[in-house]
Amino acid sequence: MSIQHSPDDQQFTTTRDGFEAELAYSYPADGVIDFTHTFVDEGLRGKGVADELARTAMAFAQEKKLKVKTSCTFMAGFVARNRDEYADVLA
């Protein structure tokens, strides 16, 4: 599945079968990214789309050497489930 990153809009998005999903973020401080909101259209729910957005976003944070905060409850749970993989970037 293709994930697009829009730095100007501060979000990762995808469209599949006419349905959309997004993961929004902000930069609350220098060197810190906060994943603030995840939305997946009902037609895509239960298909792993949110996890794919999360993995793409976390790879971006790792690549840019950003510390990660998770205001979004989905992202907080995702990071908790994958703590070992992302321990190096958690704020």
Q: Are 52 and 12 in contact (CB under 8 A)?
A: no
For residue 79, give the CATH number of its domain. Answer: 3.40.630.30
Q: Tens digit of pLDDT for each residue in 8-61?
A: 999 999 999 999 999 999 999 999 999 999 999 999 999 999 999 999 999 999
CA distance 81 to 86: 10
| Angle at which helices 73-81 and 49-63 cross, to 10° | 80
Residue 52: per-residue pLDDT:
96
CA distance 56 to 67: 15
Q: Are 53 and 41 in contact (CB under 8 A)?
A: no
Name the domain count of the chain.
Answer: 1
Q: Tens digit of pLDDT for each residue in 64-86?
A: 999 999 999 999 999 999 999 99
Q: Which domain holds residue 16?
A: 4-89
- CB within 8 Å of 1: residues ≥ 6 apart: 14, 16, 49, 52
